Amino acid sequence: MKTHRYDDARTLYEGARRGARVSTNGPMLGYRINQEDGTRPYVWISYDETILNIDHPTIGRLLEEMN
C-alpha cells in the first residue's frame, strides 16, 4: 500500500512546497469577503504567501494587519 503519491511530498508541508513549485506559485487558499453590494467574491492567497505564514506566523500576522 502506498503512503504517499509523490516522493517529494510525504508531508503536508512538503505538499505545499511541491504545489508552489508545480503551480508556479498559483492560488492555494481562498476566502470570501463581503462587499457593500452584497456579493462575496473569493480572495486567493498564493502558495508562497501561505508558506510564509506557516514558516513565520508572526510575519503573517503583521502582513494581515497591514492590509
Looking at residue 55, its pLDDT comes to 72
> Phi then psi for 36, rounded to 5 degrees?
-60, -30
Q: Where are the domains of the chain?
A: 12-66
**Is the overall model pTM greater than 0.75, yes or no?**
no
Residue 65: per-residue pLDDT: 65
Instruction: Tell which residue, 24, 19, 23, 22, has the closest CA to residue 54.
Output: 19
pLDDT averaged over 10-residue windows placed end to end, the chain, 67 residues: 86 90 96 96 94 72 60
Q: Cα-Cα-Cα-Cα dihedral of 15, 17, 21, 26, to 10°?
A: 90
3-state secondary structure the chain: CCCCCCCCCCCHHHHHHHHHHHCCCCEEEEEECCCCCCCCCEEEEEHHHHHHHHHCHHHHHHHHHHC
Residue 20: per-residue pLDDT: 96
